[in-house]
Amino acid sequence: MPNVEKVSVAVTTHQAALLRDAVKTGAYATTSEIVREAVRDWEAKWEARQADAKRLRELWDEGKASGDPVRVDFDKLREEARQELSAALNNAR
């Protein structure tokens, strides 16, 4: 296996037992194989999280660059929507 670096990882007693059991049952050849799979899964999650954070920063910057914020009176907007819905329902009858 090229480019392999050994590291020491501390796990709980329960986690160590799970690792040993997975190897004992033949699901994995070694505990290292399990850890490498876990690191690959974590890496994919980490990269997705980084991409999400980057996209949020881009959206934030776009929002800031779009101009002054528009103030909306949501109570008034909700009431207008209720009136329009009520009128539409009455006209449909």
Question: Domain ranges in the chain?
Answer: 13-92
Query: Does pLDDT of 1 surpass 70?
Result: no
* Nearest partner of 7 among 30, 36, 28, judged by Cα: 36
pLDDT at residue number 73: 94
Q: What pTM was computed for the model?
A: 0.64
- What does the pLDDT look like over 55-90, one tens digit per residue? 999 999 999 999 998 899 999 999 999 999 999 999
Amino acid at site 5: E
- What does the pLDDT look like over 2-60, one tens digit per residue? 788 999 999 999 999 999 999 999 999 999 999 999 999 999 999 999 999 999 999 99
Helix (H, G, I), strand (E, B) or coil at 79: helix
Cα–Cα distance measured from residue 10 to residue 16, given in angstroms and rounded to the nearest whole number:
9
H-state helical runs in the chain: 13-24, 31-65, 74-92
